[in-house]
Structure 1
Amino acid sequence: MEISLLADNPSAIETVAKWYFNEWCRDSGSYTEDEVVKKVSASINRDTAPILIIGKVNGVLAGSAELKIREMDIYPEFEFWLGGVYVTKQARGQGVASKLVKEIISLAHKIGVKNLYLQTEDLTGGLYL
């Protein structure tokens, strides 16, 4: 699997935004598709949060993950978050999410993040377990 920054693959913005919208926003109404595109676009960074990475399997876009900043309004004291982990149905079960999560953790360390918090809908940890 090849992992790279969204900053090096801006053509992936629309695809990632569509994944996020369909997975987390369409039914909840929390964001419009245009708002999701703007949020994803804001993650085109290399050395400061928010940073979004993508994974490709055999050259095909397979997943994404983010190093987010102050992602949850109810926890303003917590600065850096791991979230936005998404893997396409075709790539699930191949270790894509694990590799993306490990890369976000590595990126966080490289830019000096001391504490990284987990953003997940499943409070038991879900796939992160």
Structure 2
Amino acid sequence: MIELHWLREHMQHCPTLAAWLHAQFDYEFASQSLTDWQQEFAAGQLNGDWPALVALEGERLLGGAALARDDLPERPELGPWLACVYVQPQVRGQGLAERLIEAIMAEARRQGYQRIYLHTHDRRDYYVRRGWQVMEQFQAWRGDNWLMQRELF
């Protein structure tokens, strides 16, 4: 059975999830080493910058998603952010990403936020089908990206 847990309660999985994210979003991490990102991500589990939920089947890590304080330095007035959504390729297509996303939104709602943001370069349509609205298109990381939002109430 797949269960969702806060990564801070399972820190043994933090280096692995951080490595997956570093590889998946390599364009964002072009100027940051894997080691530096792993340290930043681990610290973010404790200081509130990157609290992540992880999907575990027993002790097997399947994916994760984070409720980031800040995920787009050019837009510091916005937040919180859905960030770091990643599911292992062999378990994709089973609704796990959606389950992680919904749980992150529920946590943001529980914390009293009215809306949540994300940015994506290749999953705009996925999020639109799930109720997210495009706020604007912007150029970053050598390509088109979309800033999106979703109301929580």
TM-score, normalised via structure 2 length? 0.74
Distance change >3 Å, CA 16–CA 23, structure 1 → 2: same
1:125 maps to a residue whose letter is R
Judge conservation of contact 2:41–2:50 (CA < 8 Å) in 1. no
* Alignment-derived partner of residue 104 in structure 1: 104
* Alignment-derived partner of residue 2 in structure 1: 3
Judge conservation of contact 1:55–1:100 (CA < 8 Å) in 2. yes
User: How far is the alpha carbon of 1:21 from its aligned partner?
Assistant: 1.3
* Alignment-derived partner of residue 65 in structure 2: 65
Of 77-86 and 34-43, more deviation after overlay is shown by: 34-43
Judge conservation of contact 1:83–1:120 (CA < 8 Å) in 2. no
1:19 maps to a residue whose letter is W
Task: Report % sequence identity.
Answer: 26
- Between the aligned partners of 1:59 and 1:98, the Cα distance in structure 2 is 21
- Structure 1 or 2, whichever has the larger Rg, is 2
Distance change >3 Å, CA 24–CA 30, structure 1 → 2: farther
Aligned pair count?
127
Kindly report which structure 2 residues correspond to 1:79-98, keeping only aligned pairs within 5 A, or say none. 79-98=79-98
- Between the aligned partners of 2:64 and 2:124, the Cα distance in structure 1 is 18
TM-score, normalised via structure 1 length? 0.86
Show CA shifts across 1:85-123 (max 9, x none): 00001111111100000000011111122221012223x
Judge conservation of contact 1:120–1:126 (CA < 8 Å) in 2. no
Judge conservation of contact 1:16–1:40 (CA < 8 Å) in 2. no
- The runs of at least 4 aligned residues of structure 1 exceeding 4 Å deviation read none
Q: Which runs of 5+ in 2 are unaligned?
A: 130-153
Distance change >3 Å, CA 23–CA 38, structure 1 → 2: same
- Between the aligned partners of 1:126 and 1:98, the Cα distance in structure 2 is 14
Secondary structure at the residue paired with 1:55? strand
User: How far is the alpha carbon of 1:51 from its aligned partner?
Assistant: 1.2
Kindly report which structure 2 residues correspond to 1:26-45, keeping only aligned pairs within 5 A, or say none. 29-45=30-46
